[in-house]
């Protein structure tokens, strides 16, 4: 059997560790500590004999609800099997083999994978030390698709319409990945009213706690939305996912309370990390914080936390941020457990009582 000639050189996306057993404090993959109650009720109600039927291929009711929420036309909305599905489709419809895809670095590591799978060149433009967006360098890279995650991963840095407007006017297609925007002070939907070459992707995984369901959508111009509809899988969103998503969007009051609780917990945790442990915590508008561990060994910290069944994320492939950890904001109980164990781990490194290990 023969595969594509370049498959050996394509490195796939590496997800955060998903333990097979229970009992972990899981703060490594930015999952929500709770799920939309309305979505759970809708999933239970929809698990009936109707499951034998295919779902609505256009996710029409969801498109109507999302269009109403964001004040756009229904033909500007496309739903998919998670926002990653939409990101993949965008590259497929916008790029020919050999075209260039541009993204900042560090950022979501799926972007280079999607470029490689479509036979495209990836140009990654370094962020500044404070994670500011290098818009001039990104525009100069002349990508067919330019990805900007806002808030960005791993630091949670938020880029506003004012920061992105200049870039949108100078690139072919600007994709703003807003997977974490529910926890930010504002979004970039206003750019859709100014530019036909902007696409915004959203996820139900973080803000609504539906990561296991796989549901996301794109907001964009009617032309790009039509192209995405033509290349997507025929039935890319299940009946149960459509029911859950519709219910989640109908209970925005719960979601807004949830988002505010995460913001408050995030900010309190960041303050504690700086005041109690003297660590540098980058300003975040996502549901995680990025903590530099100057004076400590991040690999050892990560491993010793894991030894106590607490998972955090470390980015070993980028030397600029390898001695830092990203911590998802979990429940109050989760964050208290982390604080207690982290104190012991850091004390152990200072006194030499805890050994380091590779993360």
Which DSSP string corresponds to 95-121? --TT-EEEEEESS-THHHHHHHHTT-E
- CATH assignment at residue 241: 3.40.640.10
* 221, pLDDT greater than 90: yes
Domain boundary among the residues 200, 222, 250 is at: 250
Tell me what pLDDT residue 357 has: 38
Q: What DSSP line would sit under 280-347, residue for residue?
A: EE---SSSEEEEE-TTS-HHHHHHHHHHTTEE-B--TT-TTTTTEEEEE---HHHHHHHHHHHHHHHH
203 and 75 together in one domain: yes
Q: 114-160: per-residue pLDDT in tens? A: 999 999 999 999 999 899 999 999 999 999 999 999 999 999 999 99
Residue at 7 is within a domain:
no
127 and 267 together in one domain: no
148 and 230 together in one domain: yes
205 and 258 together in one domain: no
199 and 131 together in one domain: yes
Tell me what pLDDT residue 355 has: 44
Give the phi and the psi of residue 280 in degrees, each rounded to 5. Answer: -85, 120
Q: 3-24: per-residue pLDDT in tens? A: 888 888 888 888 888 998 999 9
- The predicted model gives 208-221 an average pLDDT of 98
Tell me what pLDDT residue 10 has: 84
Write out the H or E segment, with its range, that includes residue 147: strand 145-149
130 and 42 together in one domain: yes
- CATH assignment at residue 269: 3.90.1150.10
Least confident piece of the model among 113-117, 220-224, 355-359:
355-359
139 and 238 together in one domain: yes
Structural domain boundaries enclosing 297:
20-33+253-350
Tell me what pLDDT residue 117 has: 94
* 189, pLDDT greater than 90: yes
Distance CA 174, CA 159 (A): 13
Confidence (pTM): 0.94
42 and 170 together in one domain: yes
- Band of the pLDDT at 353, cuts 50, 70, 90? low
Domain boundary among the residues 216, 250, 284 is at: 250
260 and 219 together in one domain: no
Residue at 15 is within a domain:
no
Strands 25-26 and 100-105: unpaired
Domain boundary among the residues 250, 282, 312 is at: 250
């Amino acid at each position: 059997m023969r595969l594509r000639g370049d498959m050996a050189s394509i490195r796939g996306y590496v997800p955060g560790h998903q333990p097979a057993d229970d009992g972990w404090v899981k703060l490594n993959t930015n999952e929500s500590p709770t799920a939309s109650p309305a979505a759970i009720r809708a999933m239970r109600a929809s698990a009936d004999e109707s499951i034998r039927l295919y779902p609505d291929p256009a996710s029409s009711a969801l498109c109507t609800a999302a269009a109403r929420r964001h004040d756009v036309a229904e033909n500007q909305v496309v739903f998919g099997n998670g926002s990653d599905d939409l990101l993949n489709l965008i590259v497929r419809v916008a790029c020919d083999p050999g075209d260039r895809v541009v993204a900042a670095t560090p950022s979501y590591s799926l972007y280079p994978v999607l470029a490689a799978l479509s036979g495209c060149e990836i140009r990654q433009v370094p962020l500044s030390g404070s994670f500011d967006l290098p818009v001039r360098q990104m525009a100069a890279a002349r990508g067919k698709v330019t990805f900007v995650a806002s808030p960005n991963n791993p630091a949670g840095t938020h880029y506003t319409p004012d920061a992105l407007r200049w870039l949108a006017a100078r690139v072919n297609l600007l994709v703003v990945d807003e997977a974490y925007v529910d926890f930010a002070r504002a979004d970039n939907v206003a750019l859709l009213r100014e530019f036909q070459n902007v696409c915004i992707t959203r996820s139900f995984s973080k803000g609504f706690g539906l990561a296991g369901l796989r549901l996301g959508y794109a907001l964009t111009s009617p032309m790009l939305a039509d192209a995405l509809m033509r290349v997507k899988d025929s039935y890319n969103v299940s009946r149960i996912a459509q029911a859950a998503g519709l219910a989640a969007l109908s209970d925005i009051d719960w979601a807004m309370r949830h988002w505010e609780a995460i913001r408050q917990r995030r900010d309190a945790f960041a303050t504690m990390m700086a005041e109690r442990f003297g660590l540098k915590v980058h300003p975040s508008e996502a549901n995680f914080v990025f903590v530099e561990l100057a004076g400590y060994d991040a690999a050892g910290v990560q491993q010793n936390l894991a030894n106590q069944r607490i998972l955090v994320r470390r980015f070993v492939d980028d030397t600029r941020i390898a001695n830092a950890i990203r911590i998802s904001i979990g429940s109050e109980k989760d964050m208290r457990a982390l604080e207690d164990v982290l104190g012991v781990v850091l004390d152990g490194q200072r006194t030499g009582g805890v050994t380091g290990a590779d993360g």
